[in-house]
Amino acid sequence: MIKDDCIFCKIAKGDIPSATIYETGDFKCILDVAPANKGHALIITKEHYDNIFQLDAETAAKIFSFATVAAKAIKEETGCEGMNVLQNNGAVAGQTVNHFHLHLVPRNTGDGVNMSWAPKETVAEEQQTLAKAIKSRI
């Protein structure tokens, strides 16, 4: 499915230009137009999925598999020291473009990019109960 009013559907189709690194029938890997760092790339699906909650495991496997290839190529080319691979789902999680995409963000010492959070405390028994409850839904 393609959504007419979706910017990433238009990029996926080639109707809006992008700096394309690589593409297959399932996804397109492009440079982010407003990068956190040089070499910040996105892997976007060719079909429209709002987010991970809509995406099928087969397409996801292809995207996450290619992420390992793209990460190495970006690291080699940019000389970055590290990389964040992240993926936002829902406005509350920071998603601004409602079409599934995976971020590859090259990282360097002192680059000022901030992806930290304050860790919450846990109780071991509650963690076990929660893990089992989630498992029951798989």
Quick one: 66 or 99, whose CB is closer to ligand AMP? 99
- List the single partner that 123 binds among ligand AMP, Zn ion, none, CB under 5 to 8 Å by kind: none
Out of 48, 99, 101, 103, the active site residue is 101
Quick one: 28 or 99, whose CB is closer to Zn ion? 99
- Check if the beta carbon of residue 109 is closer than 8 Å to that of residue 81: yes
Residue numbers 85-124 binding ligand AMP by CB under 6 A: 88, 94-97
Which residues, 6 or more positions from 44, have their beta carbon under 8 angstroms from its beta carbon?
A: 8, 11, 12, 27, 28, 29, 30, 99, 100, 101
Which residues, 6 or more positions from 68, have their beta carbon under 8 angstroms from its beta carbon?
A: none
Binding site for ligand AMP (CB under 6 A): 7, 11, 18, 30, 32-34, 42, 88, 94-97
